[in-house]
């Protein structure tokens, strides 16, 4: 049966690029173009976004900025998925002082904003100052707040001096798009979203669609390959799935695990698992029965992490007892499986603590996945003799309690953190479950000292030592228990090729093209 409609423009076969890897080498861009492959130019990619774009929070990593930040903007450096090494982007070179408290950056001299104005060191200084502003809600503000000097030493060089070692400076660069300082105010209402990236922000209808078009003057020659990208907003995962299946959209990075696995199983789609999402179980150490360390450790043995991984997270990721990414210096595989599922041992420990039969409400965000995780934990806790129940909070309610301090989330809670692929030094300051004022109300001199040790580490050996000691402390005190590090499944139409992703799983479409 023929369609009555066809909205998806066919890509034009205007040119064939070959030997793109050689091109990258020849231009010295440091951009991994892959091997020789045929690419079709033209066409439009439609992205199914769950949630409206928020240009005013460009400097904040969130689902509503991740789908387009690396399309409209460039960063100084970029860490791609599967790597820990920063790749040159707008910064071509960098040197650190011996104490790791000063960095000198060399910038590209051939980059222009979409407005036509050249990108210079002054723009870098301006944007790094913006990172310090709490109103911009950058998760790496704590790194920028330690900067004592940010200066443009020439139009193409920047010098940053910090009071603390800059061990995680590349996390900041990764999360800080270089916006145009002259049109910065236009980000507030999205009227001017000007970057140096491969696509130009052409038009935005809030809640409906953002239209991006090819940047003809992009600094990477002959890129991007497609003419346009539409970011269409969908209310939920089901509607986005329909858009993919009906060929309206070619990419979605935010499907629910159930929808993602169903679509990824189809031969019409490819999938890519990226970006760490950490699910964790926390306990308030000031509330009974969790003021007893033995009880908290017993919970560790009671939670069936493998079951959660398989049933709630579609087996995409890994069960873990540690917050850190596996490539982190000091990460220990044995510690990551410290709390093996052992309900008999858990029950014995709870009996020893005299808390069998205690009532344990488990609070969680009203997201399908976190509720599913919480329900399995509830079942686990009932197996070992606790009377558990699940309390769901709307996201705004949850955030008002854990972020703004308007109430608490009770004695036990299941939470979630994105950007679990950043360094331990960044996580320990960024994640609200770990920083001062955390919902577990946990803090100790030893914990504080180890955090300082991690933040001031200047070598991988020092980082490894701090991470190892922190792991031991967190496993022993057990106030916060990672459950699983899940991956988020990005789904693409089989027609869409050349997609790349950052370490946090954000899409990069500079080399993306539509086949057939």
Partner 1 sequence: MLQFLLRRAPAILIVLLGCSVIAFFIPRFAPGDPAIALAGSDATAADIEAIREQLGLNVPLPIQYVNWMGGLLRGDLGISYSTMRPVAELIGSRLESTVELALSATLIMVLLGIVLGVLAGSERSGWARAVLDSVNTVMLATPPFLTGLLLILLLGIVFPVLPVSGEVSLLDDPWLGFQFLILPATALALPNAAVIARLVATSMQTVRREEFIDFAVAKGVPARLIRSRHVLRNSLGTGVVAIGLRIGDLLAGTIVTEAIFARSGLGQLAVTSVQSRDYSVIQVLIVGAIFIAIIAQLLTEIALAALDPRIRLGATTR
Give yes or no for residue 246 binding partner 1 (CB under 8 A).
yes
Q: Based on CB atoms, which residue is closest to partner 1, 19 or 207?
A: 207
Burial of 258 (0-12, 13-18, 19+ CB in 10 A): middle
Q: Based on CB atoms, which residue is closest to partner 1, 64 or 510?
A: 64
Q: Tell me how crowded residue 363 is: count the other CB atoms within 10 A of its CB.
A: 25
Give yes or no for residue 430 binding partner 1 (CB under 8 A).
yes
Minimal CA–CA distance to 512: which of 105, 213, 176, 224?
224
Residue among 310, 311, 400, 453 that touches partner 1 (CB under 8 A): 400
Q: Based on CB atoms, which residue is closest to partner 1, 349 or 496?
A: 496
> Smallest distance from the beta carbon of 142 to partner 1, in angstroms?
9
- Sign, Cα dihedral of 40, 44, 50, 56: positive
Residue among 239, 327, 366, 494 that touches partner 1 (CB under 8 A): 239
Contact between residue 76 and residue 178 where contact means Cβ atoms under 8 Å apart: yes
Give yes or no for residue 394 binding partner 1 (CB under 8 A).
yes
Whole-angstrom distance, CA of residue 437 vs CA of residue 450:
17
> Smallest distance from the beta carbon of 167 to partner 1, in angstroms?
19
Fill in the per-residue mask, 305 to 344: x = in contact with partner 1 (CB under 8 A), - = not in contact: ----------------------------------------
Whole-angstrom distance, CA of residue 387 vs CA of residue 358:
6
Q: Based on CB atoms, which residue is closest to partner 1, 205 or 387?
A: 205
Residue among 12, 149, 203, 238 that touches partner 1 (CB under 8 A): 238
Binding positions for partner 1, 102-161, rule CB under 8 A: 133-135, 137, 139, 141
Residue among 112, 132, 202, 245 that touches partner 1 (CB under 8 A): 245
CA separation, residue 65 to residues 62, 175, 396 (Å): 5, 11, 19
Dihedrals phi, psi of 125, to nearest 5 degrees: -60, -45
Give yes or no for residue 440 binding partner 1 (CB under 8 A).
no
Give yes or no for residue 184 binding partner 1 (CB under 8 A).
no
Contact between residue 489 and residue 255 where contact means Cβ atoms under 8 Å apart: yes
Q: Based on CB atoms, which residue is closest to partner 1, 21 or 51?
A: 51
Minimal CA–CA distance to 187: which of 80, 284, 311, 65?
65
Q: Which two tokens stand for residue 288?
A: 């009974």
CA separation, residue 149 to residues 70, 125, 135, 160 (Å): 27, 10, 21, 6
> Smallest distance from the beta carbon of 430 to partner 1, in angstroms?
5
Q: Tell me how crowded residue 265 is: count the other CB atoms within 10 A of its CB.
A: 9
> Smallest distance from the beta carbon of 487 to partner 1, in angstroms?
18
Residue among 206, 221, 326, 368 that touches partner 1 (CB under 8 A): 206
Contact stretch for partner 1 (CB under 8 A) within 55-63, 122-130, 345-353, 500-508: 55-63
Give yes or no for residue 266 binding partner 1 (CB under 8 A).
no
Residue among 253, 275, 418, 482 that touches partner 1 (CB under 8 A): 418
**Angle, in degrees to the nearest 10, between helices 293-302 and 460-477:** 100
Q: Based on CB atoms, which residue is closest to partner 1, 57 or 96?
A: 57
> Smallest distance from the beta carbon of 443 to partner 1, in angstroms?
16
Contact stretch for partner 1 (CB under 8 A) within 95-103, 227-235, 250-258, 484-492: 227-235
The 8-class DSSP code of residue 329 comes to T
147-154 β-sheet, strand order: 91-96, 102-107, 157-162, 147-154
Contact between residue 340 and residue 367 where contact means Cβ atoms under 8 Å apart: no
Q: Tell me how crowded residue 335 is: count the other CB atoms within 10 A of its CB.
A: 19
As a three-state string, the secondary structure of 335-354 is HHCCCCCCHHHHHHHHHHHC
Q: Based on CB atoms, which residue is closest to partner 1, 34 or 407?
A: 407
Whole-angstrom distance, CA of residue 17 vs CA of residue 257:
36
Residue among 27, 37, 56, 367 that touches partner 1 (CB under 8 A): 56
Contact stretch for partner 1 (CB under 8 A) within 29-37, 54-62, 79-87, 114-122: 54-62
> Smallest distance from the beta carbon of 133 to partner 1, in angstroms?
7
Give yes or no for residue 1 binding partner 1 (CB under 8 A).
yes
Binding region for partner 1 (CB under 8 A): 1-5, 7, 51-52, 54, 56-57, 60-62, 133-135, 137, 139, 141, 188-190, 205-209, 232-236, 238-240, 242-243, 245-246, 248-249, 393-397, 399-401, 403-407, 416-419, 430-432, 435, 437
């Amino acid at each position: 049966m023929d369609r009555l409609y066809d909205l998806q423009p066919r890509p034009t076969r205007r040119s064939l690029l070959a030997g793109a890897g050689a091109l990258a080498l020849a231009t010295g861009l440091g951009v991994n173009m892959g091997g020789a492959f045929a690419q079709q130019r033209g066409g439009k990619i439609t992205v199914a976004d769950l949630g409206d774009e928020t240009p005013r929070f460009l400097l904040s990593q969130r689902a509503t900025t991740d789908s387009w930040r690396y399309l409209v903007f460039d960063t100084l450096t970029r860490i791609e998925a599967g790597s820990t090494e920063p790749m040159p982007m707008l910064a071509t070179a960098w040197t650190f002082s011996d104490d790791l408290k000063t960095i000198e950056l060399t910038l590209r001299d051939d980059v222009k904003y979409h407005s036509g104005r050249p990108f210079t060191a002054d723009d870098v200084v301006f944007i790094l100052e913006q990172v310090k502003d709490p109103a911009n809600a950058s998760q790496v503000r704590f790194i920028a707040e330690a900067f004592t000097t940010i200066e443009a030493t020439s139009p193409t060089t920047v010098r940053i001096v910090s009071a603390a070692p800059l061990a995680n400076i590349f996390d900041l660069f990764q999360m800080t798009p270089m916006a145009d300082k002259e049109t910065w105010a236009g980000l507030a209402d999205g009227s001017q979203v000007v970057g140096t990236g491969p696509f130009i922000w052409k038009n935005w209808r809030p809640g409906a669609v953002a239209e991006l078009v090819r940047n003809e003057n992009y600094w990477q020659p002959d890129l991007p390959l497609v003419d346009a990208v539409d970011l269409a907003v969908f209310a939920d995962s089901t509607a986005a799935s329909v858009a993919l299946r009906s060929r309206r959209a070619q990419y979605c990075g935010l499907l629910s695990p159930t929808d993602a696995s169903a679509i990824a199983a189809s031969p019409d789609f490819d999938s890519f698992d990226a970006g760490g999402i950490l699910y964790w179980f926390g306990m308030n150490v000031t509330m009974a029965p969790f003021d007893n360390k033995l009880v908290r450790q017993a919970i560790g043995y009671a939670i069936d992490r493998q079951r959660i991984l398989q049933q709630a997270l579609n087996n995409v990721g890994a069960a873990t007892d540690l917050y850190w990414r596996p490539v982190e210096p000091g990460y220990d595989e044995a510690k990551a499986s410290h709390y093996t599922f052992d309900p008999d041992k858990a029950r014995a420990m709870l009996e020893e603590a005299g808390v069998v039969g205690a009532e344990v409400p488990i609070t969680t965000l009203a997201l399908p996945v976190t509720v599913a995780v919480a329900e399995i934990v509830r079942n686990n806790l009932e197996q070992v003799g606790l009377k558990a129940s699940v309390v769901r909070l709307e996201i705004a309610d949850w955030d008002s309690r854990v972020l703004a301090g308007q109430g608490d989330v009770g004695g036990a809670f299941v939470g979630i953190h994105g950007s679990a692929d950043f360094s331990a030094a960044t996580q320990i300051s960024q994640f609200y479950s770990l920083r001062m004022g955390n919902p577990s109300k946990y803090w100790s001199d030893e914990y504080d000292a180890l955090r300082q040790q991690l933040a001031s580490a200047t070598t991988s050996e020092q980082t490894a030592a701090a991470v190892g000691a922190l792991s031991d402390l967190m496993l022993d005190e057990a106030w916060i228990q990672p459950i699983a590090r899940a991956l988020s499944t990005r789904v693409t139409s089989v027609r869409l090729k050349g997609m790349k992703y950052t370490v946090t799983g954000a899409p990069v479409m500079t080399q993306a093209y539509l086949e057939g």
